[in-house]
Structure formats: C-alpha cells, structure tokens
Amino acid sequence: MAGNVLVLLVGMALAIVVRRSNYYYQLVGVLVSIGAFGLVNIWGYEPC
C-alpha cells in the first residue's frame, strides 16, 4: 500500500514537473535528463 502511494506520488510529481516546465535549446533539457538518469550507472543499469 505504501509502495503504491509512493509510486502514485512519483507520477504526480512527474506530471507537475512536465506541466510547469513545459518540457535547439531544448537539447539542453534532453542532455540534463540523460545526465540525471545516468547516475544509475553508479549502481548499474539493468535493461528491462
């Protein structure tokens, strides 16, 4: 139950970020996204 609520909150936060930020200068946003998720490589990424 707590997990579902946490996932629900992540979804809500994602929607709010996309709405508020409305997100060639756009390429910077893509690169920042890639860099932020790229932190996953510290622990290792498992393709799903």
Residues 18-47 that bind other proteins (CB under 8 A): 18-23, 25-26, 28-41, 45-47
Residues 2-21 that bind other proteins (CB under 8 A): 3-21
Minimum CB distance to other proteins, residue 2 (Å)? 9
CA angle centred on 24, ends 32 and 39, rounded to 5°: 10
Query: Strand, helix or coil at 48?
Result: coil
| Beta carbons of 33 and 27 less than 8 angstroms apart | no
Residues that bind other proteins (CB under 8 A): 3-23, 25-26, 28-41, 45-48
